[in-house]
C-alpha cells in the first residue's frame, strides 16, 4: 500500500508541475504578432496562476504553406515538448471559395499538424480562428460575394477553421466567434485597429482570453492583467471570450484527445464484485474501491469483507497524462450476512450445456462471461433438473440466488 500511495503522490506532483508550466508555440502572421499576442496570453495566464513559456514564428502575411518550409518555424517545431501549438492562417485565405481553401490551405494545415505531432506527440494543435474584416474583404468582394460583408466573411472563416480542426483531430480557439458576439452586444468596444483588419489592443486581449479558456478550459474572468485596458472593458472581454469557449467545447473540438472513463461492475455474490472498463483512449487505470483497497488493473475481481454501499473512483489515463474520472457506488451483500447456508443447487456442464439441479428453494440463475459481463438470467424452480444450452468450450461464471437471499456461485466450462 505504501508503494501505491507513493506512486499516486508522485503522479499528483507531476500533474501539478505540468499545470503550472505550459509550453505554447504560436505559428501565424501579423494577426499574432500585432500587440504581441503570445506575451498578452502569457501575462493573462500568469495573473490567473498559470505559467506559460511562449515562442512565436509570425512573419507578416505568412500562410500555412510558407510555414511548412520556413526554417524559423521548423526549428521551433523541432524543439519539441510543446503542450499547445497555435496555428493561424493568413487572414483572408480561409474565407475564399471552398475549392481554393481545399487546394491552398487544408493540405498545409494537415502538414503542419503532422510536423508538430512528429516532434511533440502529446501536443494539442489549436487552430486560432480569426475574424472578418470590419467592412468585409473589399479586395476580393467582386470575385467572391460571400466576403463582401463582415458577416459573410466571418461565416466562411468559421467554416474553414472548424474543418481544419475536425480534419486533423485538433482543437479550435474560436476568437472569431467571440469577436462576432462582441460586435453584436458591445459595439462601443472597438476591436479593430485603424486599417479595419488588424486587432486593436482590445481585440488582441479578446483573443488572449479565448486562448486561455481553450488551453485551460476555465474562465478568464477575474484576471488581474488587463494590458492597457480599463478594468470594465477587460472584464467584458473576459466574460464574452470565456462564454463563447466554455458553452460549446464540443463545437470547437476541445478535448478531442481526452480519454473517456467507462467503468463497469457486476455483482458476483458473496461479497465479490467484478470490475472492468470499456474506456477509450486509455493506457492506464486506477481504482479506489471504497474500502481502503486500490487496483491498477483493467479487469479484476474484488472481495468486500462487509456488506454495505461503497463509493468507487475510477481514473482513466492516457500516454500523455490526460485523465478522466468516474465515480459510482456499488451495493454489496456478503455471503456471511445474506445466507444461513448455501442454496441446495448444483451447476455442472455436459454436452448439452449447463445442468442445473436444485433440491431447495426457487431462485434466479445469472450467467456471466469471464470479463464479468452478464450473459443471461434464468428462473429456476424449487426442485428438479434443468438445462441451459451453451456451446462446447464455453466458460461461464454462475450465481444462483434464492428469494430468501441465499447465494451460490461457481465456474463451469462446457465440455
Distance of CA 387 to the CA centre of its chain: 47
Query: How many whole angstroms separate alpha carbon 64 and alpha carbon 106?
Result: 9
Inside any domain, residue 33: yes
Q: Which CATH number fits the domain that encloses residue 89?
A: 3.40.50.1110
Q: Please tell me the predicted confidence (pLDDT) of residue 21.
A: 87
Cβ neighbour number for residue 388 with a 10 Å cutoff: 21
Q: Please tell me the predicted confidence (pLDDT) of residue 5.
A: 35
Inside any domain, residue 363: yes
Three-state DSSP at 75 gives helix
Residue in this structure with the C-alpha cell 449447463, named with its chain if needed? 354
Q: How many CA atoms lie within 13 A of 196 on its CB side?
A: 9
Domain of 347, in residue numbers: 339-413
Torsion of CA 399, 402, 404, 408, to 10 degrees: -40
Among 320, 337, 354, the domain-final residue is: 337
Phi, psi of 235, rounded to the nearest 5 degrees? -65, -45
Residues 395 and 373 in one domain: yes
> Model confidence at 372, in pLDDT bands (50, 70, 90)?
low
Q: Please tell me the predicted confidence (pLDDT) of residue 415.
A: 77
Q: Is the pLDDT of residue 25 over 80?
A: yes
Q: Tens digit of pLDDT for each residue in 92-139? A: 999 999 999 999 999 999 999 999 999 999 999 999 999 999 999 999
Query: How many whole angstroms separate alpha carbon 397 and alpha carbon 400?
Result: 10
Inside any domain, residue 73: yes
Tell me the CA end-to-end span of the chain in Å, nearest whole number.
41
Task: Check if the beta carbon of residue 412 is closer than 8 Å to that of residue 345.
Answer: no
Q: Is the pLDDT of residue 15 over 50?
A: no
Residues 80 and 225 in one domain: yes
Residues 362 and 302 in one domain: no
Nine cell digits for residue 162: 472548424
> Could you tell me the pTM of the whole model?
0.76
Torsion of CA 352, 356, 362, 367, to 10 degrees: -70
Query: How many whole angstroms separate alpha carbon 48 and alpha carbon 222?
Result: 8
Q: Is the pLDDT of residue 337 over 60?
A: no
CB-based burial label for 306 (10 Å; 0-12, 13-18, 19+) = exposed
Q: Is the pLDDT of residue 18 over 50?
A: no
Q: Tens digit of pLDDT for each residue in 257-271? A: 999 999 999 988 888
> Model confidence at 408, in pLDDT bands (50, 70, 90)?
confident
> Model confidence at 296, in pLDDT bands (50, 70, 90)?
very high
Among 289, 305, 337, the domain-final residue is: 337
50, 85, 128, 249, 411 from 93: Cα distances, Å: 33, 20, 14, 25, 65
Query: How many whole angstroms separate alpha carbon 382 and alpha carbon 400?
Result: 12
Q: Please tell me the predicted confidence (pLDDT) of residue 3.
A: 33
Residues 328 and 345 in one domain: no
User: Nearest Cα to 4, choosing from 297, 317, 272, 283?
Assistant: 297
Q: To the nearest whole number, what is the mean pLDDT of the chain?
A: 89
Inside any domain, residue 256: no
Q: Starting from the edge strand earliest in sequence, which strands make up the sheet with 284-288, in order? A: 294-295, 284-288, 308-317, 323-332
Task: Check if the beta carbon of residue 343 is closer than 8 Å to that of residue 361.
Answer: yes
Q: Tens digit of pLDDT for each residue in 347-364? A: 888 887 888 888 777 888
Cβ neighbour number for residue 148 with a 10 Å cutoff: 16
Residues 207 and 279 in one domain: no
Q: Which CATH number fits the domain that encloses residue 348?
A: 2.60.40.3080
68, 78, 111 from 114: Cα distances, Å: 10, 12, 5
Residues 151 and 179 in one domain: yes
Q: Please tell me the predicted confidence (pLDDT) of residue 128.
A: 98
Inside any domain, residue 355: yes
Find the length of the chain.
415
Inside any domain, residue 162: yes
The residues, any chain, with a CB within 8 Å of residue 84's CB and separated by 6 or more, are: 22, 23, 24, 25, 123, 124, 125, 126, 215
Q: Is the pLDDT of residue 370 over 80?
A: no
Give me the number of domains the chain comprises.
3
> Model confidence at 331, in pLDDT bands (50, 70, 90)?
confident
Residues 309 and 183 in one domain: no
In sequence order, the β-bridge partners of residue 331 are: 309
Q: Please tell me the predicted confidence (pLDDT) of residue 342.
A: 60
Q: What percent of the chain has pLDDT over 90?
A: 71
Q: Is the pLDDT of residue 7 over 50?
A: no
Residues 93 and 156 in one domain: yes
Q: Which CATH number fits the domain that encloses residue 279?
A: 2.60.40.10
Query: How many whole angstroms separate alpha carbon 392 and alpha carbon 353?
Result: 7
130, 334, 414 from 402: Cα distances, Å: 66, 14, 24
Inside any domain, residue 142: yes
Q: DSSP class of residue 313?
A: E
Q: What is the mean pLDDT of residues 53-77?
A: 98
Residues 360 and 325 in one domain: no
Residues 138 and 6 in one domain: yes
Q: Tens digit of pLDDT for each residue in 181-214? A: 999 999 999 999 999 999 999 999 999 999 999 9
Q: Please tell me the predicted confidence (pLDDT) of residue 405.
A: 66
Residues 270 and 403 in one domain: no
> Model confidence at 338, in pLDDT bands (50, 70, 90)?
very low
Task: Check if the beta carbon of residue 211 is closer than 8 Å to that of residue 238.
Answer: no
Residues 52 and 167 in one domain: yes
Among 337, 352, 380, the domain-final residue is: 337
Query: How many whole angstroms separate alpha carbon 311 and alpha carbon 347?
Result: 33
Query: How many whole angstroms separate alpha carbon 38 and alpha carbon 212?
Result: 11
Amino acid at each position: 500500500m505504501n508503494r501505491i500511495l507513493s506512486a499516486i503522490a508522485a503522479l499528483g506532483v507531476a500533474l501539478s508541475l505540468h499545470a503550472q508550466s505550459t509550453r505554447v508555440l504560436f505559428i501565424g502572421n501579423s494577426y499574432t504578432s500585432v500587440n504581441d499576442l503570445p506575451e498578452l496570453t502569457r501575462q493573462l495566464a500568469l495573473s490567473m496562476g498559470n505559467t506559460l513559456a511562449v515562442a512565436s514564428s509570425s512573419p507578416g502575411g505568412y500562410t500555412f504553406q510558407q510555414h511548412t518550409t520556413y526554417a524559423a518555424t521548423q526549428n521551433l517545431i523541432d524543439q519539441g515538448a510543446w503542450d499547445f501549438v497555435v496555428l493561424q492562417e493568413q487572414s483572408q485565405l480561409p474565407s475564399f471559395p471552398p475549392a481554393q481553401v481545399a487546394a491552398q490551405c487544408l493540405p498545409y494545415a494537415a502538414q503542419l499538424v503532422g510536423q508538430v505531432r512528429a516532434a511533440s506527440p502529446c501536443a494539442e494543435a489549436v487552430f486560432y480562428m480569426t475574424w472578418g474584416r470590419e467592412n468585409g474583404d473589399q479586395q476580393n468582394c467582386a470575385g467572391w460575394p460571400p466576403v463582401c460583408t463582415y458577416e459573410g466573411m466571418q461565416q466562411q472563416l468559421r467554416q474553414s477553421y472548424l474543418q481544419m480542426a475536425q480534419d486533423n483531430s485538433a482543437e479550435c480557439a474560436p476568437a472569431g466567434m467571440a469577436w462576432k458576439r462582441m460586435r453584436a452586444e458591445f459595439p462601443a468596444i472597438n476591436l479593430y485597429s485603424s486599417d479595419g483588419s488588424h486587432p486593436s489592443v482590445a481585440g488582441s486581449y479578446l483573443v488572449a482570453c479565448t486562448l486561455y479558456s481553450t488551453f485551460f478550459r476555465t474562465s478568464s474572468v477575474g484576471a488581474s492583467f488587463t494590458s492597457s485596458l480599463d478594468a470594465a472593458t477587460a472584464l467584458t472581454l473576459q466574460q464574452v471570450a470565456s462564454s463563447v469557449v466554455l458553452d460549446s467545447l464540443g463545437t470547437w473540438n476541445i478535448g478531442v484527445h481526452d480519454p473517456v472513463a467507462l467503468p463497469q461492475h457486476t455483482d458476483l455474490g458473496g461479497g465479490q464484485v467484478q470490475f472492468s472498463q470499456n474506456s477509450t483512449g486509455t493506457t492506464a487505470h486506477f481504482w479506489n474501491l471504497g474500502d481502503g483497497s486500490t487496483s491498477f488493473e483493467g479487469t479484476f475481481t474484488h472481495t468486500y469483507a462487509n456488506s454495505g454501499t461503497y463509493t468507487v473512483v475510477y481514473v482513466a489515463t492516457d500516454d500523455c497524462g490526460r485523465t478522466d474520472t468516474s465515480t459510482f457506488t456499488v451495493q454489496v451483500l456478503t455471503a456471511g450476512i445474506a445466507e444461513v447456508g448455501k442454496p441446495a443447487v448444483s451447476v455442472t456442464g455436459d454436452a448439452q450445456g449447463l445442468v442445473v439441479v436444485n433440491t431447495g428453494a426457487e431462485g434466479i440463475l445469472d450467467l456471466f462471461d469471464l470479463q464479468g459481463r452478464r450473459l443471461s438470467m434464468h428462473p429456476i424452480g424449487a426442485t428438479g433438473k434443468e438445462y441451459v444450452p451453451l456451446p462446447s468450450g464455453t466458460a461461464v461464471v454462475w450465481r444462483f440466488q434464492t428469494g430468501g437471499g441465499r447465494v451460490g456461485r461457481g465456474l463451469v466450462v462446457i465440455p
